Amino acid sequence: MNKRIKEIRQNAGMTQREFADRIGVSRNTIAAYETDARVPIDAIIVSICREFNVNEDWLRTGLGNMYAEVNPDIQLSKALGSLLREEAGSFKKQLILSLLELNQKEWDTLEKLITSVTKKYNL
């Protein structure tokens, strides 16, 4: 499990401290997990899976897909919750507020633009 925990952290682009803060443990604890000096308790495993959308079976055994399938409504709910924690005036908040002001014609134009860009750059 130690290599999988490290892989999750690295895929998230986080330091051990950032990862530890996110799941509520110390940096030393993460280091111990990653070096196989300690094994995380079930509550920590569940926390890692919840915070990073990881498939618990994969984390425990290495079998299956690394990431859990996400219900789009749950994904949107988490994103909105994260957005609400952004500072006032942040780019993300301003972008969403601007999008909320679009009329249907503007939405249609934006959809065409995004479709064109994703095709052009294979996104």
What are 20-40's pLDDT values in tens digits?
999 999 999 999 999 999 999
- Total domains in the chain come to 2
Name the domain boundary from 10, 39, 61.
61
Closest to 2 (Cα-Cα) out of 48, 43, 69: 48
The neighbour count for residue 53, using CB atoms within 10 Å, is 16
- Residues 110 and 101: their CA atoms lie apart, in Å, by 13
- Whether this prediction's pTM lies above 0.75 is answered by no
The residue range of the domain holding 8 is: 2-61
Within-domain flag for 66: no
Within-domain flag for 67: no
The neighbour count for residue 16, using CB atoms within 10 Å, is 18
Instruction: Check: CB of residue 20 under 8 Å from CB of residue 27.
Output: yes
Give SS3 for 63.
Answer: coil
Within-domain flag for 12: yes
Q: Are residues 16 and 51 in the same domain?
A: yes
What are 79-123's pLDDT values in tens digits?
899 899 999 999 999 999 999 999 999 999 999 999 999 999 988
Within-domain flag for 100: yes
* CATH code: domain of residue 36: 1.10.260.40
Amino acid letter for position 68: A
